[in-house]
């Protein structure tokens, strides 16, 4: 169209010469005349112009010939001929218009042909360039839109909701989102470590409980429940590993089966499997996780069918037959009995079925009946009478737990000692009236526990508890199997004090793991940290807890905020919701993921209200 217009404009200033040739003459001329590189385009153009204007062109040619003849004699009755001047004007005007549409016109004028061709090329290039710019612009807009949506998802997951006219500066100040390139780089390193551990598990032990990295095979140490996979679900989600999370989710939906003739630990199955599935549900709102959590919980419930309500520690998942291990004299372990409350209360809140909450809370009521004045219950409980074994050990480490917290902390203070001459704190074990100078690595959660609980005291007492939490502690074990308890305490202390020293300590620990425990096929523990002798097990809690706590240690405090999430014993975050003590109120969140109805907490007492939430898409 641009070329056509240019021809018309240019031709109005050209000379008025010959009339249009007829079709045969033009055909012969095209056959014999040399045409430049625009020949094919012009021929195509000429073809369509010729067909469209064949009748008009023939008429023009006949009119031109008629002007050179004498007027024919007029027969009687014929209309009078038009004036000669009118015929000449009409023919001349028609000639001037149509000759510029004829290819022969330009073949006889090479300069104008070249100008026409250059105009056509310029118009084509301009149109193509414009289309390219539009395509590039649309692609850039699409990319930026995706980036904005991704950032919005991350902010929403951190509990930050942007209004239309949000002031970004105020948001950064309010939520402490100052860019920290050091923490960002460290967090990415932890994420890469998680990918290495996960990919090793996928390659060598997919669907099995745990990976033996040096043997490069899997082992079912928890009855074939996919412990590492289920334990890793929320870690994958929190770190934004979408493809890995989706693959694990599909395995849960298609392959996770609890109908196994296996004596499962009620404690381990609750914290790892029930807790892991509930956390994945709270984060993703995918109901398959809630369905699976309910399935395994129903298989565990017969363990609570005792005269006291104190549960047995083991149960056959297929037969529902519960018991206690012989090595412990048929007694129940305190940590097992006092650790399932969080998961089972959460399950009742999410399903609307009160039976899980009732079983778990009955245990606490039984503990209240036998609770000692110093707040230190022994590790063994009789499941039939519900009484404590007075001669059993009191410990905050293996097989012990925290009950009636504030009273217990008074007892804890009586168990703390300092090493000499280094003045490191440690928590003793108590046997009767004597103290044993022993603290294992499982007790390293104590600083974090103290820091969390300090806010519930008067200012003076809170300062005392927090000072103890900040003290350096020492353990007396020489092995390291990548346990999370120390990292857990560092994460709590960093978030509650803002002291970056705890981040630096955590980074030192992570670098030590990378140097001494990372191998080509995963991560292994050390049988002795002095010799560096490696074992052959990548514990599932390394992915579920250790790496998750490290990732959160280098993340802003508003990410998986303590005001909205609570961690179970296996570091699975569960959304904090309003406690419903009446059975009828429990259905408030039935059929809804906590990612759909999130509880927004106001202050430390967790006054709650429902707000809309878009789940984190990583």
Q: For the segment 196-235, what is each residue's pLDDT rounded down to a tens digit?
A: 999 999 999 999 999 999 999 999 999 999 999 999 999 9
**Predicted local confidence at residue 58, as pLDDT:** 45
Whether 589 shows a pLDDT value over 70: the answer reads no
Q: Is the pLDDT of residue 30 over 80?
A: no
Tell me the C-alpha distance between 611 and 591, whole Å: 17
Most confident of 317-331, 343-357, 578-592: 343-357
The pLDDT value recorded for residue 1 is 37
Which H or E element spans position 343? Answer: helix 341-351
Q: Give tens-digit pLDDT for 35-56.
A: 333 444 444 444 444 444 444 4
Average pLDDT of the residues in 336-357: 93
Closest CA to 251 of 296, 219, 292, 282: 292
Q: Kindly tell me if the per-residue pLDDT of 152 is higher than 80.
A: no
Confidence of residue 96 (pLDDT cuts 50, 70, 90): low
Task: Check whether 407 is labelled as a binding-site residue.
Answer: no
Residue 446 in this model has a pLDDT that exceeds 60: yes
| Range ranked top by mean pLDDT from 41-55, 440-454, 477-491 | 477-491
pLDDT higher than 70, residue 121: yes
CA distance 25 to 104: 9
For residue 80, the model assigns a pLDDT of 56
Angstrom CA distances, 398 to 333, 380, 394, 429, stand at 10, 12, 10, 10
Q: Which of 117-126, 185-194, 339-348, 588-597 bottoms out in mean pLDDT, i.e. has the lowest?
A: 588-597
Q: What's the pLDDT at 223? A: 94
Q: pLDDT at residue 84 above 90?
A: no
Q: Which residues contact 403 (CB under 8 A, 6 or more apart)?
A: 334, 338, 364, 367, 371, 375, 377
What are the pLDDT digits (tens) for 280-330?
999 999 999 999 999 999 999 999 999 999 999 999 999 999 999 888 888
Q: Cα–Cα–Cα angle for 153, 156, 162, nearest 5°?
A: 100
Residue 420 has a CB neighbour count (10 Å cut-off) of 7
Decide if pLDDT at 447 tops 60: yes
Return the percentage of the chain with pLDDT > 90, whole number.
42
Q: What integer is the mean pLDDT of 464-474? A: 74
pLDDT at position 344 is 96
Give yes or no for residue 34 having a pLDDT over 80: no
Helices (H), 517-610: 540-541, 547-553
pLDDT at site 548: 98
Beta carbons of 488 and 549 less than 8 angstroms apart: yes
Q: Quickly list DSSP for 484-511.
A: SHHHHHHHHHHHHH--THHHHHHHHHHH
Q: What is the pLDDT of residue 114?
A: 81
Quote the DSSP letter at residue 542: I
pLDDT for res 330 = 86
d(CA 120, CA 384): 98
Task: Point out the residues that are catalytic.
Answer: 268, 272, 401, 485
pLDDT of 433 strictly over 60: yes
**Structural contact between residues 572 and 268, judged by C-beta atoms closer than 8 angstroms:** no
346 phi, psi to nearest 5 deg: -60, -40
Choice between 354 and 389, residue whose per-residue pLDDT is larger: 354
Question: What whole-number distance in Å separates Cα of residue 98 and Cα of residue 86?
Answer: 19
Q: What's the token pair of residue 238?
A: 């929190």
Q: Residue 156: its pLDDT value, please?
A: 59
H or E stretch covering 167: none
What's the CA gap between 278 and 349, in Å, rounded? 11
What's the confidence (pLDDT) of residue 243? 96
Can you give the pLDDT at residue 390? 59
- 248 and 232 Cβ atoms separated by less than 8 Å: yes
Is a pLDDT exceeding 60 seen at residue 583?
no
Please return the burial class of 169, using the count of CB atoms within 10 Å of its CB with bins 0-12, 13-18 and 19+. Answer: exposed
Tell me if 243 sits within 8 A of 255, measured CB to CB. Answer: no
Give the three-class secondary structure for 157.
helix
pLDDT above 70 for 9: no
Q: What is the mean pLDDT of the chain?
A: 76
Helix/strand/coil (H/E/C) assignment for every residue in 124-141: HHHHHHHHHHHHHHHHHH
Would you state the pLDDT for residue 618?
Answer: 26
Q: Does residue 370 have a pLDDT over 80?
A: yes
Retrieve residue 540's tokens: 């599932």
Q: What is the mean pLDDT of residues 13-18?
A: 38
410 has a pLDDT exceeding 50: yes
| Strand pairing report for 533-534 and 526-528 | antiparallel
The C-alpha atoms of residue 412 and residue 376 are separated, in whole angstroms, by 8
Task: Please tell me the least confidently modeled range out of 26-30, 120-124, 314-318.
Answer: 26-30
Of the segments 132-136, 338-342, 429-433, 537-541, which one has the largest average pLDDT value?
A: 537-541
Burial zone of 600 (CB within 10 Å; 0-12 exposed, 13-18 middle, 19+ buried): middle
Of 86 and 275, the structure prediction assigns the larger pLDDT to 275
**What Å distances lie between residue 399 and 332, 342, 383, CA to CA?**
10, 18, 16
Partnered with residue 426 across adjacent β-strands are: 417
* SS3 state of residue 483: coil
pTM: 0.65
Rounded average pLDDT over 148-159: 65
Beta strands in 182-323, from DSSP E residues, in sequence order? 210-212, 217-219, 263-265, 314-316, 322-323
**Residue given tokens 């097989």 in the structure block:** 399
Token code pair at residue 518 = 């990372």
From residue 55, give the alpha-carbon distance in Å to each of 4, 33, 65, 489, 586. 20, 25, 16, 95, 88
Q: Is 416 exposed, middle or buried (0-12, 13-18, 19+ CB in 10 A)?
A: middle
Closest by CA to 340, choosing from 266, 406, 444, is 266
Burial of 167 (0-12, 13-18, 19+ CB in 10 A): exposed
Lowest-pLDDT range of 39-53, 65-79, 278-292, 445-459: 39-53
> DSSP readout, 426-476?
EE-EEETTEEE----GGGGGHHHHHHHHGGGS-HHHHHHHHHHHHS-B---
Higher pLDDT, 508 or 27: 508
Please give the Cα distance from 618 to 131 (Å, whole number).
34
Q: Is the pLDDT of residue 267 over 80?
A: yes
Question: Which has more pLDDT, 595 or 522?
Answer: 522
The structure tokens listed for 179 are: 């860019």
Q: What is the pLDDT of residue 118?
A: 85
What span, in angstroms and rounded, lies between the C-alpha atoms of 408 and 481? 29
Alpha helix ranges (H) inside 158-241? 168-175, 181-205, 227-238
Mean pLDDT of 366-376: 80
pLDDT value of residue 60: 47
């Amino acid at each position: 169209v641009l070329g056509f217009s240019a021809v018309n404009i240019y031709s109005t200033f050209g000379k008025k010469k010959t009339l249009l040739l007829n079709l045969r003459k033009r055909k012969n001329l095209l056959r014999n005349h040399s045409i430049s590189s625009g020949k094919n385009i012009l021929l195509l153009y000429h073809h369509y112009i010729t067909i469209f204007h064949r009748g008009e062109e023939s008429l023009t040619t006949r009119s031109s010939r008629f002007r050179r003849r004498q007027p024919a004699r007029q027969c009687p009755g014929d209309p009078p001929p038009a004036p000669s001047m009118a015929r000449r004007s009409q023919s001349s005007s028609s000639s001037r218009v149509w000759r510029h549409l004829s290819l022969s016109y330009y073949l006889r004028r090479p300069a104008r042909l070249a100008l026409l061709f250059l105009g056509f090329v310029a118009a084509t290039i301009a149109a193509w360039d414009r289309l390219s710019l539009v395509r590039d612009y649309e692609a850039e807009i699409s990319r930026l839109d995706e980036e904005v949506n991704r950032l919005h998802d991350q902010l929403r997951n951190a509990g930050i909701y942007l209004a239309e006219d949000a002031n970004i500066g105020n948001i950064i100040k309010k939520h402490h989102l100052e860019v920290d390139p050091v923490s960002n780089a460290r967090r990415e390193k932890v994420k890469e470590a998680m990918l290495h551990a996960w990919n090793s598990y996928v390659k060598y032990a997919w669907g099995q409980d745990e990976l033996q990295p040096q043997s490069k095979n899997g082992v079912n140490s928890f009855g074939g429940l996919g412990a590492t996979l289920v334990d890793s679900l929320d870690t994958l989600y929190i770190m934004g590993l979408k493809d890995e999370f989706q693959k694990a989710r599909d395995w849960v939906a298609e392959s996770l089966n609890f109908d196994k003739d296996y004596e499962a630990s009620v404690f381990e199955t609750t914290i790892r499997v029930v807790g892991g599935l509930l956390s994945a549900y709270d984060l993703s709102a995918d109901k398959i996780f809630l369905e699976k959590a309910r399935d395994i919980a129903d298989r565990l419930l017969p363990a609570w069918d005792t005269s006291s309500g104190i549960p047995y520690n083991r149960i056959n998942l297929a037969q529902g037959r519960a018991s206690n291990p012989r090595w412990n004299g048929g007694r129940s372990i305190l940590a097992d009995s006092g650790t399932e409350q969080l998961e089972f209360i959460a399950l009742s809140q999410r399903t609307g079925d009160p039976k899980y909450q009732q079983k778990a809370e009955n245990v606490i009521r039984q503990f209240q009946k036998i609770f000692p004045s110093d707040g230190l219950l022994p590790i063994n409980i009789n499941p039939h009478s519900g009484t404590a074994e007075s001669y059993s050990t009191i410990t905050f480490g293996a097989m012990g737990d925290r009950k009636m917290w504030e009273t217990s902390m008074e007892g804890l203070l009586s168990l703390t000692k300092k090493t000499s001459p280094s003045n490191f704190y440690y928590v003793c074990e108590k046997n009767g009236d004597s103290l044993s100078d022993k603290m294992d690595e499982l007790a390293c959660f104590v600083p974090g526990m103290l820091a969390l609980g300090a806010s519930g005291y008067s200012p003076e007492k809170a300062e005392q508890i927090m000072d103890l939490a900040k003290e350096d502690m020492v353990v007396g074990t020489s092995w390291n199997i990548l346990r999370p308890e120390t990292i857990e305490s560092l994460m709590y202390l960093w978030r509650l004090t803002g002291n970056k020293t705890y981040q630096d300590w955590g980074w030192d620990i992570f670098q030590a793991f990378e140097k001494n425990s990372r191998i080509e096929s995963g991560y292994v523990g050390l049988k002795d940290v002095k010799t560096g002798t490696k074992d052959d097990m990548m514990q599932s809690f390394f992915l579920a807890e250790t790496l998750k706590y490290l990732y959160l240690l280098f993340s802003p405090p508003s990410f998986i905020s303590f005001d909205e999430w609570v961690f179970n014993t296996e570091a699975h975050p569960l959304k904090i919701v309003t406690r419903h003590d009446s059975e009828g109120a429990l259905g408030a969140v039935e059929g809804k993921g906590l990612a759909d109805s999130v509880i927004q907490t106001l202050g430390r007492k967790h006054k709650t209200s429902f707000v809309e939430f878009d789940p984190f898409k990583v």
